[in-house]
Amino acid sequence: MVLSPKDRLIFPLDVPDVREARRLIELLKDEVGLFKIGLQLFTGEGLRAVGQIASERPTGIFLDLKIFDISNTVSSAARQLHGMEIAFLTFPADQGRAALESVVKNRPIPGSKVLAVTVLTSLDEEGMREVGMSKSVQEVVLLRAELARDAGCDGVVCSGLEARAVRERMGPKFIVVCPGIRPSWYREPDDQRRVTTPSEAIRNGADYVVVGRPIRLAKDPADAARRVVSEIAEALQ
């Protein structure tokens, strides 16, 4: 499937309730390719609300809960999602191959893509050392990408800074999703450390970019989304 520039933009519904989520969906439904549901909305509204939103979207949703536990627990959690229209779902790579394999075997619907989260984009080299990692961020990302591939995952989540290395190592069919995206016109400080612009991430090999605050906090979110899509389109030329 050939992805359009708009298809490549994922917008996170980082809001506390379904009412606000639906407002943003209505506002941005023609501007972005996929909506992502994370911990904030999930803990505020629960699994039933997630299922309702997923069923209303023709493309399904990206469920980004990063469920981390032993393989029996994560496979049980995955089974709770059976039948839901989930396009992508995430599980941390560092819980090991057995847990990832159990998720792959229990994906919600046949077309759901299982993505392994490599290293959070809020962590830099110093942050990695704080949690006891002696290898560089890129080394860890590549090790976890290989683990994800060997476990049967469809792709990974990594920063745009590692996207080129992942693409070169894993080949063209492996899905690369990049959060920590900050357009050049966005100036607000936040907790992201390993950031790139949308065009940099796409040029480095990303299939999708996740852009939240630069769109959600803009005076005109729809216009901000169009500007991001324009950057993606330019990078694809």
Instruction: Assess whether pLDDT exceeds 90 at residue 197.
Output: yes
Tens digits of residue pLDDT in 37-47 = 999 999 999 98
Give me 54's structure tokens: 């997923």
Marked catalytic residue, from 6, 29, 66, 113: 66
pLDDT at 98: 93
Question: Structural domain tally of the chain?
Answer: 1
Instruction: Assess whether pLDDT exceeds 90 at residue 225.
Output: yes
What is this structure's pTM?
0.94
Query: pLDDT category, 178, cuts 50, 70, 90?
Result: very high
* Residue 56 CB neighbour total at 10 angstroms: 14
Query: pLDDT category, 124, cuts 50, 70, 90?
Result: confident
**Do the Cβ atoms of 137 and 185 come closer than 8 Å?**
no
- Tell me whether residue 221 is in a domain: yes
What does pLDDT average to over the chain? Answer: 93
- Tell me whether residue 2 is in a domain: no
pLDDT at 48: 85
pLDDT at 78: 92
pLDDT at 187: 77
Domain with 145 in it: 9-231
Active site includes 66?
yes
- Tell me whether residue 3 is in a domain: no
- Tell me whether residue 66 is in a domain: yes
Query: CA 8, CA 210: separation in Å to the nearest integer?
Result: 9
In single-letter form, the type of residue at position 139 comes to E
- Tell me whether residue 139 is in a domain: yes
- Tell me whether residue 1 is in a domain: no
Tens digits of residue pLDDT in 60-75 = 999 999 999 999 999 9
pLDDT at 111: 92
- Tell me whether residue 193 is in a domain: yes
pLDDT at 97: 94
- Tell me whether residue 196 is in a domain: yes
DSSP reduced 3-state for 180: coil
CATH code: domain of residue 23: 3.20.20.70
Query: CA 228, CA 222: separation in Å to the nearest integer?
Result: 10
**Do the Cβ atoms of 54 and 86 come closer than 8 Å?**
yes
Question: Is the torsion defined by CA of 26, 30, 34, 39 positive or negative?
Answer: negative
Mean pLDDT, rounded, for 92-109: 94
